[in-house]
Amino acid sequence: MPKRRGRRGTWISVAVGVVGVLCAVLGFAVVGSGYGYHRMTGDTMSPELRSGTGLWTERVQPADVRHGEVYAVDSPWTLQGIVIQRAMALGGDRIACVNGQFSLNGKPVDEPPARQVHTCYLDFDVTVPPGRAFLMGDVRGDAFDSRINLADQQGTVDLAKVGERVVWHSGADSEALPGKLAGALVLAALGLLLAVIGLIATIVFAVRGRAARPLGLEPPATF
């Protein structure tokens, strides 16, 4: 009877471990295929995103890029690597700073006054070509953004490079994680936990099984 219980416990442990591995693989697959994680460098998006802030991003199609949202941009202009900036204007929009007046399609841009400081220290007047975006940092006096790169296709960036929308950050005022991402992370964590529990339990049952085996009888001595 104890032997049967040991075998049953071993099989249950293995099953728990396998389920855990499958859950972890599925969770990580969802995260890896639809999301990305980055860490903010520099303070050109402060105060919302300060240097060192962790960022979760959701991969989006070019048609899903929206005005005013923050994106992880892949190597824009002469920069290499991921740059975090805000999409201010998209294809067909006219964005301008003329005589200190910041406008989008002829209307004043509606954003926090603190963000507009130093926005128009350079004059520009750009009509964004289709399939491209005009990007800005939030600290306009320090940001290396579309305004500084007007000689390179009027500072605009191909939407294919604007592929990840910031959906969560580790700052105090962040919103909750999107449901799909949160669920995938929980599934992955639960899967890892079950896999570890299954492995430990399998080892424990295997050790107990060996300890419970009767010792073999020594052959009789011959003279």
Percent of the chain at pLDDT exceeding 70: 91
Question: Is 5's pLDDT higher than 90?
Answer: no
Q: Which of 123, 137, 125, 145 shows the shortest CA–CA distance to 48? A: 137
Over residues 159-188, the mean pLDDT reads: 90
Question: Is 222's pLDDT higher than 70?
Answer: no
Lowest mean pLDDT, pick from 39-43, 113-117, 182-186, 207-211:
207-211
Stated pTM of the model: 0.81
Helices (H) and strands (E) in the chain, counts: 2, 11
Question: Is 188's pLDDT higher than 70?
Answer: yes
Question: Is 208's pLDDT higher than 80?
Answer: no
Higher per-residue confidence, 22 vs 218: 22
The model's pLDDT over 56-88, given as tens digits with 9 standing for 90+, comes to: 999 999 999 999 999 999 999 999 999 999 999
DSSP state letter for 195: H
Q: Given pLDDT bands bounded at 50, 70 and 90, which one contains residue 172?
A: confident
The model's pLDDT over 110-147, given as tens digits with 9 standing for 90+, comes to: 999 889 999 999 899 999 999 999 999 999 999 999 99
Sorted by sequence, the CB contacts under 8 Å of residue 154 that are 6+ apart come out as: 126, 127, 128, 129, 134, 146
What is the pLDDT at residue 223? 46
What is the pLDDT at residue 219? 54
Token pair of 69, please? 């949202």
Three-class SS state of 117? coil
Percent of the chain at pLDDT exceeding 90: 65
